[in-house]
Amino acid sequence: RSLYSPDDPLELLSADTAERRLLGSPSAWAVEFFASWCGHCIHFAPTWRALAEDVREWRPAVMLAALDCADEANQQVCADFGITGFPTLKFFRAFSKKAEDGIRIAHPAATVADLRRAIITNLEQSGDAWPPACPPLEPARDSHPISQRGDRFQVALDLLQYENVAVRRVLSSEEELVEQFGVTTFPSAYLLLRNGSFSRLPVHAEARSFYTYYLRTLSGVTRGSYRLNITGSAVNESRALQPLQADRSKVYVADLESTLHYTLRVEAGRPAVLAGAQLGALKCYVATLAKVDFLGGFGLEVLMVVPTRSRPSVLQASPAAVLPTNITWVGCRGSEPHFRGYPCGLWTVFHLLTIQAAQGGPDQELPLEVLSTMRCYVKHFFGCQECAQHFEAMAAKSMDQVKGRDEAVLWLWSHHNEVNARLAGGDTEDPQFPKLQWPPPDMCPQCHREQRGVHTWDEAAVLSFLKERFSPGNLLLDHAVPIPRAGAEAAASTRLSTAGLREKEEEEERKEEEKETEKPDREGETGRPGSSELRRPSIVRRNPRLQAVGEDIVDLDSFSEQHFKSKALRAAGRHRRLSKRDTVALHHDGGWERLQAPESREEAEEGGLRRSPWLRVLGLGFSRLDVSLCIALYFLSSMCLLGMYTFFRLRTRARKGRPGFFPAA
């Protein structure tokens, strides 16, 4: 099942319906914005469902709804409603005009009773926005605290859909009525009939459910014509995922790519403004991806981020890019849509990053940098807010004490296991993928030891297991989105060893250089149609319009250019083609070239930023535009000189031909 199904008594909103239903509505709405992968949303779903059941009779005065912000189709609408974390609960008064009118209902960990009270409190404060279907709940002189009054409003709301009965409240302060009915205890309920007779309701307890039940059973009281409007969208319908054959000893590139797609296009695209610490966190993340030899040769060209103040973030600006635009979970695929997926992918990406950072190059600090990048990323972008808080608490305790590169790998491993232990047996656990202390004995027997009957880990064995597991040779390309290429070659590329990849890559680079030398005027073109050598676009493109904006928006283009200068130089040394616009061209496999967006081709050509080989050899840093201008100026000045020369020459000749100035004697 998805978190909610059409059987639940709430409306499942979508991008098409959210604004239409919530804004300008004669009903008040309580909405949960959730992400189906988020553990705390999974915990919270039964409470929201129970609340929906509890207040189902309050329709159409008060409606309950839910919107899945993890669904990429809903990304924009969730951003419009200012949703940055999950679950977020908002109350919309009737006739709310703007998305910002939603009032946050604090504390999603609240009980059904707390939430019901929060709805009533907000309803009471509706003033002019009183839902027409809602009975008048607020007597003129009510000195009781709102929390107490709220409990008693509920009966009136519970009877909303019933005809031939009206519920009114009388306060103890209304002495005349109290006296007329002979009321002695508060609260108590009286039934007043049309003929003027009245009697106290014979209920066992002066409580909401007793009153409601009794009133509904009265003769003549019937349910009105209002029908529950269960409008489950097809997208949200319960569905089990088709199982994909996944080898659990492998790491799938499809999972890594899907995670990058989700982190960069969805999570980082959510804030209205990227600035300050949040922008810093994104820069770190991008920088780490570029710095670590991420995917070890599996064709990721990282990465341009463009300054933005507007939310349709640059991260979405390039429709076709290196990463696929859809999500395919393979190793991280859950048995149902709300299990596993993105959080699984995020753990996997960070394990891979720490291990690759620990293994590659002389930079001792890099694995520690990866850990702090993960900490920053989770703090600023991970949509599951409570997960992020838990992780931050763990990190604050011990992350600073990590000194060495192997220690960094083991820190992440052991803390991931701590999370596994906390979540084991809970409702976020996919029954088909129980949360274990990892790696389990069948995956790594040598990792486990027993000393006097007590289990211990052999950390050295764990470390080498992790290094092997997250080595480039253990990455599988299955189910990732392929780019068409020659049949046999494509088949062969489904799984390549690191060595194979690197050889292939070098060969392709050689070929590429040769082609560039042969056809300098084709520089900037993205490849031959049908060939596997399309130049890959960067994930995110420069958007010149956005560059004029504010000071605290950092141009990550120049940031990364500076940051990775040394890396770029090294790459250039290895005959990498490195354009000014591509931050770092990492290893690539020809079979993994992504289709390039046409606009990025145009952009590259228009900007004239790609230099032809001979200019690069000269190292002059001129673009083709510069050179064209030089030639044009040179030509113009030559023409000018020629003109002047001809003019003076003609004048001299003319003078010689004329009679002298002095008259003949």
Ligand X SMILES: Cc1cc2nc3c(=O)[nH]c(=O)nc-3n(C[C@H](O)[C@H](O)[C@H](O)COP(=O)(O)OP(=O)(O)OC[C@H]3O[C@@H](n4cnc5c(N)ncnc54)[C@H](O)[C@@H]3O)c2cc1C
Q: Of residues 38, 78, 376, 387, which has the active-site annotation?
A: 38
Decide: is 433 part of the binding site for ligand X (CB under 6 A): yes
- Relative to beta strand 62-68, strand 11-13 is parallel
CB of 154 to ligand X, least distance (A): 32
> In this structure, what DSSP letter does residue 332 have?
T
Query: Any catalytic annotation for residue 447?
Result: no
Q: Is 395 one of the binding residues for ligand X (CB under 6 A)? A: no
CA dist 8 and 113 (Å) reads 19
| Residue indicated by tokens 């608490």 | 393
User: Which range of residues in 261-269, 414-422, 598-606, 636-644 is near ligand X by CB under 6 A?
Assistant: 414-422
* 390 interacts with ligand X by CB under 6 A: yes
> Which value, to the nearest 10 degrees, does the dihedral of the CA atoms of residues 642, 645, 650, 651 take?
140
Find the binder of ligand X among 391, 411, 564, 592 (CB under 6 A).
391
Angle at 578 between CA 577 and CA 583, to 5 degrees: 145
Q: Which is nearer to ligand X, 331 or 591 (CB)?
A: 331
Write the interaction track for ligand X spanning residues 333-362; mark x where CB under 6 A is met and - where it is not.
Answer: -------x--xx-xxx--x-----------
d(C-alpha 303, C-alpha 322), whole Å: 9
Q: Does the active-site annotation cover 387?
A: no
Question: Does the protein bind ligand X through residue 417 (CB under 6 A)?
Answer: yes
Let me know: does 86 contact 40? Beta carbons within 8 Å: yes
Q: For residue 428, state whether it binds ligand X (rule: CB under 6 A).
A: yes
Catalytic residue among 41, 69, 284, 384: 41
Residue of the chain from 76, 126, 420, 623 that contacts ligand X (CB under 6 A): 420
d(CA 261, CA 129): 41
Question: Residue 480: CB partners within 8 Å, gap ≥ 6?
Answer: 252, 253, 254, 257, 324, 328, 330, 592
Q: How far is the CB of 297 from ligand X (least distance, A)?
A: 22
State the minimum distance, in angstroms, from the CB of residue 74 to ligand X. Answer: 21
Site residues for ligand X, 3-62, by CB under 6 A, read 39
Query: Among all chains, which residue has been given the structure tokens 């000071």?
Result: 551
Please, what is the minimum distance in Å from the beta carbon of residue 373 to ligand X?
12
Is residue 430 part of the contact set for ligand X (CB under 6 A)? yes
Q: How many residues bind ligand X (CB under 6 A)?
A: 25
Least distance in angstroms from the C-beta of 45 to ligand X? 12
Amino acid at 409: V
**Radius of gyration for the alpha carbons in the chain, expressed in angstroms and rounded:** 34
DSSP letters spanning 175-196: HHHHHHHT--SSS--EEE-TTS
| Contact flag: residue 419 with ligand X (CB under 6 A) | yes
Options 200, 416, 577, 580; binder of ligand X; rule CB under 6 A: 416
378 binds ligand X, rule: CB under 6 A:
yes
Record the tokens describing residue 460, joined without a space.
């050295």
Closer CB to ligand X, 14 or 359, in the complex: 359
Q: Which residue is nearest to ligand X (CB)?
A: 39
Pick from 332, 368, 463, 534 the residue near ligand X by CB under 6 A: 332
Stretch that binds ligand X, among 20-28, 131-139, 306-314, 433-441 (CB under 6 A): 433-441
- Whole-number Å distance between alpha carbons of 343 and 387: 10
DSSP secondary structure of 381-434: H-SBHHHHHHHHHHHHHHGGG--SHHHHHHHHHHHHHHHHHHHTTSTTS-TTS-
Residues that bind ligand X (CB under 6 A): 39, 332, 340, 343-344, 346-348, 351, 378, 386-387, 390-391, 413, 416-417, 419-420, 423, 428, 430, 433, 435, 438
Q: Which residues are catalytic?
A: 38, 41
